[in-house]
Amino acid sequence: MSRHPVRHRPTVVEVDLEAIRHNVRRLKPAGAELMAVVKADAYGHGDVPVARAALEAGASWLGVALVEEGLALREAGISARILVLSELPRGAEAEAVRAGLTPTVYTEEGVEALAREARAAGRALPVHVKLDTGMHRVGLWPPERAVELCRLVVERGLELEGLWTHFASAESDEPTTLAQLERFLRAAWAVREAGLRPRLLHAANSAATIRFPKAHLDLVRPGAAVYGLAAGPGLAEGLRPAMTLRSRVSFVKRLEAGERLSYGHRYRLGRDAWVATVPVGYADGYPRALSNRAEVLIRGRRHRVAGIVTMDQLLVDCGDDPVVPGDEVVLLGAQGSERITAEELAEPPTEETRLQAKAMSLLLSAGALASDAQLIGDDPGGWRAVGDPTEGALVLAAAQFGLRKDELERRLPRVLELPFDSERKRMTTVHELNVENDASAVNDVLAQLPIAQSRFVAFTKGSVDGLLDIAAQVWVNGGAQPITPEWRQRIEASNARLAAEGMRVLAVAFKLLDERPAKADEALERNLTLVGLFGMIDPPRPEVKEAVAKCKMAGIRPIMITGDHPLTALAIAKELGIAAAEDRVITGLQLSQMSDEQLSAALTDVSVFARVSPEHKLRIVTALQRQGHVVAMTGDG
């Protein structure tokens, strides 16, 4: 290795620590702690600076895979709690205990080894017991043995601080994830019923932190999402990628059609083209497997990596774009309105995924333009929407995709509108098409529409059923297709699935117009092309906690009655101030087995009822009224 630091090579990796802070703040739920997983050198981003940034942004724990990773953080002066995510190798216990690392255990041998070391050190040692609920990598199996192992932890003088599990497919498989969560909560409930009280229950990885609020429990453990990486399809919205790999063009030549490039001559130019050399190769960690597949950004445009990636250089087919030596090349990250993502490099986009991304940009643009809400703020971290909350969500979603409402309206100014009314359950806006020859995200939206002689476009948003009744076509793979019975069934099924998840669902459609309509009437809303659906969920508002506190001050006692799991219900009740961590929860099954006298007695100190039916709710209200209370019910049921 050279003894001289590299000063003249333009290839650099940049890690945006403010993006790390932004992502941690965005991912951290109200009422739950956050553990930033910084294993594998913080996913290659640098464990010490990333750990410090995450802690500054509100993380209270760090997660590592190896004892050595935890020791390195301690040597850097980081004193935060650190969980080792697998059981310690035999012989590592003493060093881990001295460094104040928190071990994971899932075998009797692991418990015994830690107990011996804790006794020898004369100190209390908190541990977290990991349950295998279906990932089948490491953890106690079956999880129904949790009481047995947790009891051993306590009997051996260790502190049972945490109980946790890991999801196998939270990014895509909802039934499996919910089944894993249910199995974990049953095991955790059994541990509590046995008189054992772990302070922290945790299960949510990056995908579950984003997709499953019920899995937040006491602590979430995002890994990839901390770095702005998508934990699954559509799971990076609102996150900021932290890493950029950039270089500069070192050499350019003009080659004729038919010339072959790089080792093995595996790339042939199909036309005369400018070919750029970039000083990046597989020695820098840029995979050779990306040869002839990946794209890079030069002057805000995508260009294909041409030929085999060599050890320290690669070639780029720039077509007719007049690139010059010194032009910046982005291999990972953003330039202009374009971005090369880590997900793309891991799996270069197919034509299908390109079309899906374009359809997403059309959907988001249409949703934002057919809304009256406006985006305020220049910094993504400080964006907020002004106006109707539902429309605000559409405007924010578009902005997070690089489609700001003000830029959309500059290029597609609104000239007419048919306002929303409760009978039609939809709203339509008409926009003038202003096509400019640039590389903006708005132009990418317009380029996919069959504009031809059209000078205006109408965007309609509204209820799914309502739009299905007036739409004639659906936008598929970059073109319009008739809405057949099969397509209608698929759309209705998607609507039902999103609605079943507690989401508000809106559909968006468009219609190209050759002339500006003389007036805004329902003729605008005929023969539409349906683009897609939005699903939105409205989390508990911040003022709910304040309302609960005011009720208590006024002598009104809030009681939570829910169909959720008892541990989930208790966590929410604790967050809102309805219950304390040590409070008892009565389930619907337990309530069914109670006499009226027993229920009346329980109501003196129990404020959380879980897994209940409407009949149970009526029985609880009746029991309170018999005690002389005036009872008011509120909620969505």
For the domain that residue 184 is a member of, what is the CATH number?
Answer: 3.20.20.10
3-class DSSP state of 272: coil
pLDDT of residue 438: 47
The C-alpha atoms of residue 572 and residue 218 are separated, in whole angstroms, by 10
Q: Estimate the crossing angle of helix 108-121 against helix 146-155, to 10 degrees.
A: 20
pLDDT band, very low/low/confident/very high, at 445 (cuts 50, 70, 90): confident
Do 485 and 609 lie in one domain? The reply is no
Count: domains in the chain: 4
pLDDT of residue 410: 87
Q: Is the pLDDT confidence value at 266 over 70? A: yes
Say if 158 falls within a structural domain.
Answer: yes
Residue with the larger pLDDT of the pair 122 and 443: 122
Say if 473 falls within a structural domain.
Answer: yes
Do 551 and 528 lie in one domain? The reply is no
Do 366 and 497 lie in one domain? The reply is yes
The active-site residue, picked from 28, 130, 253, 263, is 263
Say if 235 falls within a structural domain.
Answer: no
Q: Which of 92-101, 228-237, 388-397, 554-563 has the highest mean pLDDT?
A: 92-101
Say if 179 falls within a structural domain.
Answer: yes
Residue with the larger pLDDT of the pair 397 and 165: 165
pLDDT of residue 437: 47
pLDDT band, very low/low/confident/very high, at 6 (cuts 50, 70, 90): low
**Residue 579: what residue type?**
A
pLDDT of residue 298: 96
Taking each continuous run of H as one helix and of E as one strand, the counts in the chain are 21, 31
Looking at 18-22, 110-114, 420-424, which range is the least confident one? Answer: 420-424
What tens digit of pLDDT does each residue of 519-565 get? 888 888 999 999 999 987 655 667 888 899 999 999 999 999 987 66
316 CB-near residues (< 8 Å, 6+ apart)? 249, 275, 276, 277, 278, 296, 298, 303, 304, 305, 306, 329
Say if 238 falls within a structural domain.
Answer: no
Length of the chain as a residue count: 637
Do 558 and 413 lie in one domain? The reply is no
The C-alpha atoms of residue 34 and residue 21 are separated, in whole angstroms, by 12
Does 214 qualify as catalytic in the annotation? no
Across 249-383, the runs of DSSP E, i.e. the strands, are 251-255, 260-261, 267-268, 273-278, 295-298, 301-305, 314-317, 328-335, 338-340, 374-376
Domain with 372, as residue range(s), is 351-537
pLDDT of residue 273: 92
pLDDT of residue 50: 98
Which of 227, 252, 275 delimits the end of a domain?
A: 227
Looking at 217-226, 239-248, 528-537, which range is the least confident one? Answer: 528-537
Does 550 qualify as catalytic in the annotation? no
Do 573 and 493 lie in one domain? The reply is no
Do 511 and 365 lie in one domain? The reply is yes
Do 423 and 288 lie in one domain? The reply is no
pLDDT band, very low/low/confident/very high, at 637 (cuts 50, 70, 90): very low
Mean pLDDT of 236-243: 90
Do 223 and 251 lie in one domain? The reply is no
pLDDT band, very low/low/confident/very high, at 439 (cuts 50, 70, 90): very low
Do 100 and 27 lie in one domain? The reply is yes
The active-site residue, picked from 39, 130, 511, 617, is 39
Which of 346, 371, 401 delimits the end of a domain?
A: 346
Mean pLDDT of 397-424: 84
The CATH number for 563's domain is: 3.40.50.1000
pLDDT band, very low/low/confident/very high, at 241 (cuts 50, 70, 90): very high
Say if 6 falls within a structural domain.
Answer: no
Do 519 and 619 lie in one domain? The reply is no
Q: pLDDT above 90 covers what percent of the chain?
A: 64
pLDDT band, very low/low/confident/very high, at 460 (cuts 50, 70, 90): very high
Which of 292, 311, 346 delimits the end of a domain?
A: 346
Mean pLDDT of 356-370: 87
